[in-house]
Amino acid sequence: MTGPGTPHDRTTVEGLDSLAMTALRLVVTGRPAEAAALLAPTVETLDHTEVPTPALIDVSILYATLTTGPAQLRAAHYAYHFGHRVFPCGHPRRLAAADAYGTALHQHGRYTEAVAVRCRLLAGYRVHQPRASLSVAADLAASLHAAGHCREAQLTVCEAWNTWRHHPHRDVSTGTTILRTTIRLLRSCRRDLDLIAVICQARDTPAWDDLVITHTTTLAAADADYIDTHRGTLCTHTPQLPTRTSAAPTNLPPPRPAHRPPAGSWPPTDTSGHDSSRPHPTPQRAARPAPIAGRRTSATAAGNLRACGASPDGADPASRPGTGSMAHRRPSWHTALRMVAVLVPAVALVLHVVI
Protein backbone atom coordinates (compact mmCIF):
# COMPACT_ATOMS: atom_id res chain seq x y z
CA MET A 1 0.00 0.00 0.00
CA THR A 2 1.39 3.38 -0.94
CA GLY A 3 1.67 6.19 1.59
CA PRO A 4 -0.81 9.04 1.81
CA GLY A 5 1.70 11.51 0.38
CA THR A 6 2.02 9.66 -2.93
CA PRO A 7 -0.59 9.58 -5.67
CA HIS A 8 -3.26 6.96 -5.01
CA ASP A 9 -4.31 4.61 -7.77
CA ARG A 10 -7.54 2.64 -7.90
CA THR A 11 -5.96 -0.33 -6.14
CA THR A 12 -4.97 1.82 -3.14
CA VAL A 13 -8.43 3.33 -2.81
CA GLU A 14 -10.02 -0.09 -3.09
CA GLY A 15 -7.57 -1.35 -0.49
CA LEU A 16 -8.61 1.39 1.93
CA ASP A 17 -12.26 0.65 1.32
CA SER A 18 -11.64 -3.05 1.95
CA LEU A 19 -9.75 -2.19 5.14
CA ALA A 20 -12.62 -0.04 6.38
CA MET A 21 -15.19 -2.74 5.56
CA THR A 22 -13.18 -5.37 7.41
CA ALA A 23 -12.89 -3.12 10.46
CA LEU A 24 -16.63 -2.45 10.40
CA ARG A 25 -17.32 -6.18 10.24
CA LEU A 26 -15.17 -6.69 13.32
CA VAL A 27 -17.05 -3.91 15.17
CA VAL A 28 -20.44 -5.39 14.31
CA THR A 29 -19.38 -8.81 15.55
CA GLY A 30 -18.28 -7.35 18.90
CA ARG A 31 -14.51 -7.11 18.36
CA PRO A 32 -13.73 -3.36 18.41
CA ALA A 33 -10.22 -3.88 19.80
CA GLU A 34 -9.26 -6.02 16.82
CA ALA A 35 -10.71 -3.44 14.44
CA ALA A 36 -8.65 -0.68 16.07
CA ALA A 37 -5.50 -2.80 15.86
CA LEU A 38 -6.19 -3.43 12.18
CA LEU A 39 -6.52 0.29 11.42
CA ALA A 40 -3.68 1.52 13.64
CA PRO A 41 -0.74 0.95 11.19
CA THR A 42 -2.48 2.97 8.48
CA VAL A 43 -3.80 5.82 10.61
CA GLU A 44 -0.75 6.37 12.80
CA THR A 45 1.50 6.91 9.78
CA LEU A 46 -0.65 9.60 8.18
CA ASP A 47 1.02 12.60 6.57
CA HIS A 48 -0.89 15.69 7.77
CA THR A 49 0.50 17.86 5.00
CA GLU A 50 -1.22 16.16 2.06
CA VAL A 51 -4.91 16.13 1.25
CA PRO A 52 -6.10 12.53 1.70
CA THR A 53 -8.62 10.56 -0.27
CA PRO A 54 -12.21 10.19 0.99
CA ALA A 55 -11.49 6.55 1.85
CA LEU A 56 -8.60 7.59 4.11
CA ILE A 57 -10.85 10.08 5.88
CA ASP A 58 -13.35 7.27 6.47
CA VAL A 59 -10.63 5.10 7.99
CA SER A 60 -9.54 7.97 10.28
CA ILE A 61 -13.12 8.58 11.44
CA LEU A 62 -13.64 4.92 12.22
CA TYR A 63 -10.34 4.67 14.08
CA ALA A 64 -11.17 7.78 16.17
CA THR A 65 -14.45 6.21 17.28
CA LEU A 66 -12.76 2.96 18.36
CA THR A 67 -9.79 4.15 20.42
CA THR A 68 -8.80 6.63 23.09
CA GLY A 69 -5.65 8.54 23.87
CA PRO A 70 -3.49 10.87 21.77
CA ALA A 71 -3.83 8.71 18.64
CA GLN A 72 -7.59 9.16 18.76
CA LEU A 73 -7.32 12.95 18.96
CA ARG A 74 -4.82 13.12 16.08
CA ALA A 75 -6.95 10.94 13.83
CA ALA A 76 -10.12 12.91 14.64
CA HIS A 77 -8.40 16.23 13.99
CA TYR A 78 -7.03 14.87 10.70
CA ALA A 79 -10.48 13.78 9.54
CA TYR A 80 -12.11 17.03 10.70
CA HIS A 81 -9.54 19.31 9.12
CA PHE A 82 -9.44 17.63 5.73
CA GLY A 83 -13.12 16.74 5.74
CA HIS A 84 -13.92 20.46 5.48
CA ARG A 85 -11.63 20.71 2.47
CA VAL A 86 -12.69 17.59 0.62
CA PHE A 87 -16.45 17.38 1.22
CA PRO A 88 -19.07 20.10 0.72
CA CYS A 89 -21.18 21.55 3.49
CA GLY A 90 -23.74 19.08 4.79
CA HIS A 91 -22.00 16.01 3.37
CA PRO A 92 -22.45 12.95 5.62
CA ARG A 93 -18.69 12.32 5.84
CA ARG A 94 -18.03 15.93 6.80
CA LEU A 95 -20.66 15.73 9.55
CA ALA A 96 -19.28 12.40 10.74
CA ALA A 97 -15.75 13.84 10.94
CA ALA A 98 -16.98 16.78 13.01
CA ASP A 99 -18.88 14.42 15.29
CA ALA A 100 -15.78 12.29 15.87
CA TYR A 101 -13.62 15.35 16.56
CA GLY A 102 -16.12 16.82 19.04
CA THR A 103 -16.32 13.51 20.88
CA ALA A 104 -12.53 13.23 21.06
CA LEU A 105 -12.21 16.77 22.40
CA HIS A 106 -14.81 16.08 25.06
CA GLN A 107 -13.14 12.84 26.13
CA HIS A 108 -9.80 14.64 26.49
CA GLY A 109 -11.27 17.36 28.70
CA ARG A 110 -11.08 20.16 26.14
CA TYR A 111 -14.68 21.17 26.72
CA THR A 112 -14.54 24.71 25.34
CA GLU A 113 -13.25 23.47 21.98
CA ALA A 114 -15.78 20.65 22.04
CA VAL A 115 -18.61 23.16 22.55
CA ALA A 116 -17.45 25.21 19.54
CA VAL A 117 -17.22 22.14 17.28
CA ARG A 118 -20.54 20.71 18.42
CA CYS A 119 -22.35 24.02 17.99
CA ARG A 120 -21.33 24.10 14.34
CA LEU A 121 -22.16 20.43 14.02
CA LEU A 122 -25.65 20.94 15.47
CA ALA A 123 -26.31 23.78 13.05
CA GLY A 124 -25.28 21.55 10.13
CA TYR A 125 -27.48 18.67 11.28
CA ARG A 126 -30.50 20.92 11.77
CA VAL A 127 -30.20 22.09 8.17
CA HIS A 128 -29.25 18.89 6.38
CA GLN A 129 -30.32 16.02 8.71
CA PRO A 130 -32.89 17.36 11.19
CA ARG A 131 -33.98 13.92 12.38
CA ALA A 132 -30.44 13.12 13.56
CA SER A 133 -29.91 16.47 15.33
CA LEU A 134 -31.40 15.45 18.69
CA SER A 135 -28.53 13.19 19.72
CA VAL A 136 -26.06 15.91 18.71
CA ALA A 137 -28.00 18.35 20.91
CA ALA A 138 -27.61 15.95 23.83
CA ASP A 139 -23.85 15.76 23.19
CA LEU A 140 -23.63 19.56 23.06
CA ALA A 141 -25.51 19.79 26.36
CA ALA A 142 -23.02 17.39 27.94
CA SER A 143 -20.08 19.55 26.79
CA LEU A 144 -21.78 22.74 27.98
CA HIS A 145 -22.47 21.19 31.36
CA ALA A 146 -18.93 19.91 31.74
CA ALA A 147 -17.62 23.39 30.90
CA GLY A 148 -19.74 24.96 33.67
CA HIS A 149 -22.53 26.42 31.50
CA CYS A 150 -25.32 24.78 33.47
CA ARG A 151 -28.21 26.93 32.34
CA GLU A 152 -27.36 26.66 28.64
CA ALA A 153 -26.90 22.92 28.99
CA GLN A 154 -30.27 22.49 30.70
CA LEU A 155 -32.08 24.54 28.06
CA THR A 156 -30.43 22.59 25.23
CA VAL A 157 -31.16 19.12 26.59
CA CYS A 158 -34.72 19.95 27.71
CA GLU A 159 -35.50 21.32 24.26
CA ALA A 160 -34.18 18.11 22.72
CA TRP A 161 -36.22 16.01 25.15
CA ASN A 162 -39.47 17.88 24.44
CA THR A 163 -38.84 17.66 20.70
CA TRP A 164 -38.29 13.91 20.86
CA ARG A 165 -41.28 13.37 23.15
CA HIS A 166 -43.68 15.12 20.75
CA HIS A 167 -42.16 13.70 17.55
CA PRO A 168 -44.50 11.30 15.73
CA HIS A 169 -41.65 9.03 14.51
CA ARG A 170 -39.31 8.98 17.48
CA ASP A 171 -36.34 6.66 17.78
CA VAL A 172 -36.12 4.80 21.09
CA SER A 173 -32.32 4.74 21.30
CA THR A 174 -32.14 8.48 20.67
CA GLY A 175 -34.77 9.12 23.32
CA THR A 176 -32.88 6.95 25.80
CA THR A 177 -29.67 8.90 25.21
CA ILE A 178 -31.44 12.24 25.65
CA LEU A 179 -33.28 11.04 28.77
CA ARG A 180 -30.09 9.70 30.38
CA THR A 181 -28.29 12.99 29.71
CA THR A 182 -31.22 15.02 31.02
CA ILE A 183 -31.44 13.07 34.28
CA ARG A 184 -27.70 13.28 34.86
CA LEU A 185 -27.63 17.04 34.29
CA LEU A 186 -30.62 17.75 36.51
CA ARG A 187 -29.31 15.55 39.30
CA SER A 188 -25.90 17.19 39.14
CA CYS A 189 -27.37 20.68 39.48
CA ARG A 190 -29.92 19.57 42.12
CA ARG A 191 -32.83 20.71 39.98
CA ASP A 192 -35.15 18.40 41.88
CA LEU A 193 -38.46 19.89 40.75
CA ASP A 194 -37.43 19.80 37.09
CA LEU A 195 -36.19 16.24 37.57
CA ILE A 196 -39.53 15.14 38.99
CA ALA A 197 -41.34 16.71 36.04
CA VAL A 198 -39.10 14.95 33.50
CA ILE A 199 -39.49 11.59 35.21
CA CYS A 200 -43.28 11.96 35.25
CA GLN A 201 -43.19 12.70 31.52
CA ALA A 202 -40.80 9.85 30.75
CA ARG A 203 -42.66 7.06 32.52
CA ASP A 204 -45.21 6.91 29.69
CA THR A 205 -42.56 6.65 26.94
CA PRO A 206 -40.58 3.64 25.67
CA ALA A 207 -37.36 5.50 26.46
CA TRP A 208 -38.00 4.99 30.19
CA ASP A 209 -38.28 1.22 29.81
CA ASP A 210 -35.13 1.12 27.69
CA LEU A 211 -33.29 3.27 30.23
CA VAL A 212 -34.25 0.95 33.07
CA ILE A 213 -33.20 -2.15 31.11
CA THR A 214 -29.82 -0.74 30.00
CA HIS A 215 -28.95 0.80 33.37
CA THR A 216 -26.01 -1.06 34.87
CA THR A 217 -23.89 -0.70 37.99
CA THR A 218 -21.03 0.67 35.88
CA LEU A 219 -23.22 3.47 34.54
CA ALA A 220 -24.54 4.14 38.03
CA ALA A 221 -21.03 4.48 39.43
CA ALA A 222 -19.98 6.76 36.57
CA ASP A 223 -23.04 8.94 37.14
CA ALA A 224 -22.33 9.16 40.87
CA ASP A 225 -18.71 10.22 40.28
CA TYR A 226 -19.73 12.79 37.70
CA ILE A 227 -22.46 14.23 39.92
CA ASP A 228 -20.17 14.58 42.94
CA THR A 229 -17.43 16.21 40.87
CA HIS A 230 -19.80 18.66 39.19
CA ARG A 231 -21.49 19.71 42.43
CA GLY A 232 -18.21 20.39 44.16
CA THR A 233 -16.38 22.26 41.40
CA LEU A 234 -18.44 23.54 38.45
CA CYS A 235 -22.13 23.81 39.34
CA THR A 236 -23.52 27.30 38.81
CA HIS A 237 -27.15 26.52 39.74
CA THR A 238 -28.77 27.01 43.13
CA PRO A 239 -30.65 23.95 44.44
CA GLN A 240 -34.40 24.05 43.95
CA LEU A 241 -35.08 22.20 47.21
CA PRO A 242 -33.16 22.70 50.49
CA THR A 243 -30.91 19.89 51.62
CA ARG A 244 -31.49 18.02 54.86
CA THR A 245 -28.26 19.27 56.40
CA SER A 246 -29.00 22.94 55.79
CA ALA A 247 -29.33 24.96 58.98
CA ALA A 248 -32.54 26.75 59.80
CA PRO A 249 -32.48 30.49 59.15
CA THR A 250 -31.91 32.60 62.25
CA ASN A 251 -32.97 36.02 60.96
CA LEU A 252 -36.70 35.37 60.94
CA PRO A 253 -38.91 37.70 63.03
CA PRO A 254 -40.44 36.25 66.23
CA PRO A 255 -43.99 34.92 65.91
CA ARG A 256 -46.73 37.39 66.76
CA PRO A 257 -48.90 36.43 69.79
CA ALA A 258 -52.52 35.60 69.16
CA HIS A 259 -54.90 38.51 69.78
CA ARG A 260 -57.27 37.83 72.64
CA PRO A 261 -60.12 40.24 73.55
CA PRO A 262 -60.19 41.47 77.16
CA ALA A 263 -62.57 39.88 79.61
CA GLY A 264 -66.10 41.23 79.45
CA SER A 265 -65.56 42.89 76.09
CA TRP A 266 -68.38 43.26 73.61
CA PRO A 267 -69.20 41.71 71.24
CA PRO A 268 -68.32 38.26 72.51
CA THR A 269 -66.17 35.89 70.49
CA ASP A 270 -67.99 33.24 68.55
CA THR A 271 -67.02 29.77 69.74
CA SER A 272 -67.65 28.26 66.32
CA GLY A 273 -64.50 29.81 64.90
CA HIS A 274 -66.06 32.92 63.36
CA ASP A 275 -65.68 36.39 64.73
CA SER A 276 -69.17 37.55 65.67
CA SER A 277 -68.18 41.17 65.23
CA ARG A 278 -67.73 40.59 61.51
CA PRO A 279 -70.68 40.04 59.18
CA HIS A 280 -71.06 36.56 57.81
CA PRO A 281 -69.42 36.25 54.41
CA THR A 282 -72.71 35.33 52.74
CA PRO A 283 -72.64 36.16 49.05
CA GLN A 284 -74.87 39.05 48.17
CA ARG A 285 -76.68 38.79 44.90
CA ALA A 286 -75.99 41.85 42.85
CA ALA A 287 -79.04 43.62 41.51
CA ARG A 288 -79.30 43.37 37.77
CA PRO A 289 -79.65 46.68 35.96
CA ALA A 290 -83.02 47.20 34.39
CA PRO A 291 -83.17 47.01 30.62
CA ILE A 292 -83.10 50.23 28.70
CA ALA A 293 -86.71 49.86 27.57
CA GLY A 294 -87.86 49.44 31.17
CA ARG A 295 -86.07 52.57 32.35
CA ARG A 296 -88.25 54.77 30.17
CA THR A 297 -91.84 55.33 31.31
CA SER A 298 -94.54 56.42 28.94
CA ALA A 299 -96.38 59.71 29.26
CA THR A 300 -99.56 57.97 30.40
CA ALA A 301 -97.78 56.01 33.12
CA ALA A 302 -96.01 59.15 34.26
CA GLY A 303 -99.32 60.99 34.45
CA ASN A 304 -100.86 58.16 36.47
CA LEU A 305 -97.94 58.18 38.83
CA ARG A 306 -98.22 61.92 39.30
CA ALA A 307 -101.95 61.62 39.91
CA CYS A 308 -101.32 59.07 42.64
CA GLY A 309 -98.70 61.31 44.21
CA ALA A 310 -95.86 58.89 43.53
CA SER A 311 -92.64 59.32 41.62
CA PRO A 312 -91.38 57.10 38.81
CA ASP A 313 -88.59 55.68 41.02
CA GLY A 314 -91.03 54.75 43.81
CA ALA A 315 -89.90 57.37 46.35
CA ASP A 316 -92.19 59.65 48.28
CA PRO A 317 -92.29 63.09 46.61
CA ALA A 318 -92.45 64.76 50.02
CA SER A 319 -89.10 63.20 50.90
CA ARG A 320 -87.38 64.95 48.00
CA PRO A 321 -85.66 68.24 48.73
CA GLY A 322 -87.58 71.29 47.48
CA THR A 323 -90.88 69.45 46.90
CA GLY A 324 -92.49 69.75 50.36
CA SER A 325 -94.43 72.98 49.70
CA MET A 326 -95.90 71.61 46.48
CA ALA A 327 -97.03 68.52 48.29
CA HIS A 328 -98.86 70.63 50.85
CA ARG A 329 -100.56 72.80 48.20
CA ARG A 330 -101.84 69.92 46.05
CA PRO A 331 -104.83 69.05 48.34
CA SER A 332 -106.12 72.72 48.35
CA TRP A 333 -106.15 72.95 44.54
CA HIS A 334 -108.04 69.68 44.25
CA THR A 335 -110.62 70.87 46.82
CA ALA A 336 -111.16 74.17 44.99
CA LEU A 337 -111.72 72.43 41.68
CA ARG A 338 -114.22 70.06 43.20
CA MET A 339 -116.14 72.98 44.79
CA VAL A 340 -116.29 74.82 41.45
CA ALA A 341 -117.53 71.70 39.72
CA VAL A 342 -120.37 71.37 42.24
CA LEU A 343 -121.35 75.07 42.58
CA VAL A 344 -121.48 76.02 38.87
CA PRO A 345 -124.36 73.59 37.96
CA ALA A 346 -126.25 74.58 41.11
CA VAL A 347 -126.02 78.32 40.38
CA ALA A 348 -127.09 77.73 36.79
CA LEU A 349 -130.14 75.77 37.97
CA VAL A 350 -131.19 78.51 40.43
CA LEU A 351 -130.87 81.21 37.83
CA HIS A 352 -132.95 79.21 35.38
CA VAL A 353 -135.74 78.74 37.92
CA VAL A 354 -135.77 82.37 38.99
CA ILE A 355 -135.80 83.75 35.51
Question: What is d(CA 260, CA 292) in angstroms, rounded to the nearest whole number?
Answer: 52
Is-above-0.85 flag for pTM? no
Q: Which residue has the higher pLDDT, 316 or 138?
A: 138
Cα dihedral 153, 154, 157, 158 in deg (nearest 10)? -160
Gyration radius of the chain over CA positions? 46
Burial class (CB in 10 A: 0-12, 13-18, 19+), 245: exposed
Question: What is d(CA 341, CA 47) in angstroms, rounded to the nearest whole number?
Answer: 137
Per-residue pLDDT tens digits for 70-120? 899 999 999 999 998 889 988 999 999 999 999 999 999 999 999 999 999
Q: For position 222, what pLDDT does the model report?
A: 93
% of the chain surpassing 70 pLDDT:
64
Q: Average pLDDT for residues 317-322, to the nearest whole number?
A: 46
Per-residue pLDDT tens digits for 163-198? 999 988 889 999 999 999 999 999 999 999 999 999
Helix 217-233 with 172-188: angle, nearest 10 deg: 40
Q: Which residue has the higher pLDDT, 47 or 89?
A: 89
pLDDT band at 314 (very low <50, low <70, confident <90, very high): very low
SS3 318: helix
Q: For residue 139, is pLDDT > 80?
A: yes
pLDDT band at 327 (very low <50, low <70, confident <90, very high): very low
Q: For residue 292, is pLDDT > 50?
A: no
Buried b (16+ CB within 10 A) or exposed e, 193-207: ebbeebeeebeebeb
